[in-house]
A and B are shown apart, each in its own frame.
Chain A
């Protein structure tokens, strides 16, 4: 049964090859077909058909690329028994065309950005090794300083991880353009330990008197000075009157503005002005979230208010107690309604849930079941465990799984481009070495393998480039529409995608972040570095061993 099927398959294969072969090669195909019934064994017959089909396919390809190649001519270099020069030319033409098209992709901005994104994990690795975390921003800041461009400086100040450099750039930006005063708030929010925070907040309060944000910054700077400074105290931050005053002022403030809208507008102008199209720096850092300390301080102060309210209720002052609860609920509503980021909404809902639970207890104790039920409903509605406000806020069109898969495809494609380029470089070097008159015998013998490697690498390079381009293209359009038009409908998809790309394929993003944090803050390469360096080295050693074995085997076979 199997034998018959194999015979049939071999016949069909050869017939198909004859059909695609150029007219002057079809007789040869029929000749191979004529021999097929006499080949002993079904597997041997299949191999016979495969060999014959490959000959005809090569002829078809050669006639397609170099029409009329079958014309009579001189005996090709290498004699009658050497590989066909026409086929070699065709192979090289295909290889050259693949390489050319692959490199033409680099002319397309989406491809360049995709390639940069694809190499991010490796870049991070070497970036850590060179201890230069923000080369892009440093260069950009230098250009902005040269041009005396306050917006360029503000753009860098907002994103710089180095607090001192960030403060310096912010000061310079505001000096050049006082309308950029809000930059102080964003920088101080990210770096509350700065000595400039006090004077900055004073200026900000005069400029935007009702914003709760400045009080949150003040509270954190007080905590940093007393609680996280070099002289650790046994007192909790809530025991400091200054911290309490700052938090009380924040909870009483009628407005909340994190200025992230202004950051986004600044972003759009500066990115275009400097052609700074780094998606990580532009997009993932655009929505600078409310830092964790603001969340922790607010929750701590809310608990303080709720406890004091409960104490008042216990002493019989129910109205005084409920006023405290309302303060917490109102601040939660303010942050939830005026905040723009996931953490802000999360913070707002958490505070509201805390306050409503307290109300529920208060009304239950009083015996007012309807009110108690209402607040129980509200507490459940705002329960942060039931609302997905944390992390990246908003909807996603592609879904997290698609973004993760696309990130892996982009990374692997980018890596394969490098691998194929490397293989082509090595094989071309062997070809050049083997073409010299006094070339070593091994180099001459390696030429056919080198040609095969060049050709297959060229095809692989083209395939990887096309895959990379097509996979990244939708994200490029999202990035463009976000930067140029401020259309942020699908930016969450882009963020999901970017969140996955720094992790090497096969390493989970969560695990990766833990490892990268360990790398960033300890400064020493750890597990991730060793794993991927090991994998790469093993691959290179394996390839070298295969090639060595082949060449040594050949040399041995031809030895006198």
Chain B
């Protein structure tokens, strides 16, 4: 969300989110299916398979912002529960 126009690799997303490939890819597939995500192939060095890169579409970006906005007040309400005081 910090750099929404950047193309990201699958493994990179996996490391950032902590999701395993078996969990991450079905989500990416579904986001792409509902036009929330765009994907493109990037050729890398010779002899190495091309890589798939992803970024959110405007629709996806809007959905992500909405979801974040929904999640933020909840996390703020929850916060005191984790405080010692």
- Chain A partners chain B: yes
Alpha-carbon distance between A249 and B51 when the two chains are bound, in angstroms: 100
Q: Which of B11, B22, B23, B33 contacts A35 (CB 8 A)?
A: B11
Binary B-proximity of A66-106 (CB < 8 A = 1, otherwise 0)? 00001010010000110110000000000000000000000
Alpha-carbon distance between A72 and B39 when the two chains are bound, in angstroms: 18
Alpha-carbon distance between A203 and B63 when the two chains are bound, in angstroms: 99
Decide yes or no whether A421 CB sits under 8 A from chain B. Answer: no
User: Separation in Å of the A9 CB from the closest CB of chain B?
Assistant: 16
Q: Which residue of A lies closest to B9 (CB)?
A: A35
Decide yes or no whether A55 CB sits under 8 A from chain B. Answer: yes
Decide yes or no whether B4 CB sits under 8 A from chain A. Answer: no
Q: Which residue of B lies closest to A33 (CB)?
A: B49
Q: Which residue of B lies closest to A25 (CB)?
A: B29
Interface size on A, residues (CB 8 A): 30
Q: Chain B residues with Cβ under 8 A from A54's Cβ?
A: 22
Decide yes or no whether A560 CB sits under 8 A from chain B. Answer: yes
Alpha-carbon distance between A281 and B19 when the two chains are bound, in angstroms: 60
Contact B21 A84 (CB under 8 A): no
Contact B34 A84 (CB under 8 A): no
Q: Chain A residues with Cβ under 8 A from B27's Cβ?
A: 80-81
Instruction: List residues of A whose CB falls within 8 A of some B CB.
Output: 25, 27-28, 30-39, 47-52, 54-55, 70, 72, 75, 80-81, 83-84, 559-560
- Provide 19 A-B residue pairs closer than 8 Å at the C-beta atoms, listed in order of the A residue: A31-B39, A31-B51, A32-B10, A34-B10, A34-B50, A35-B51, A37-B48, A38-B51, A48-B14, A48-B21, A51-B21, A51-B22, A51-B23, A55-B22, A55-B26, A55-B29, A72-B33, A80-B34, A559-B81
Interface size on B, residues (CB 8 A): 27
If A34-B52, A48-B21, A55-B21 touch, whether A80 touches B78 (CB-CB below 8 Å) is no
Closest 10 CB pairs of A and B: A51-B22, A31-B52, A51-B21, A35-B11, A34-B51, A34-B49, A560-B81, A52-B21, A35-B10, A51-B20
Alpha-carbon distance between A38 and B34 when the two chains are bound, in angstroms: 28
Interface set, chain B 17-39, CB cutoff 8 A to A = 20-23, 25-31, 33-34, 36, 39
Binary A-proximity of B38-65 (CB < 8 A = 1, otherwise 0)? 0100000000111110000000000100
Q: Chain B residues with Cβ under 8 A from A35's Cβ?
A: 9-11, 14, 21, 51-52
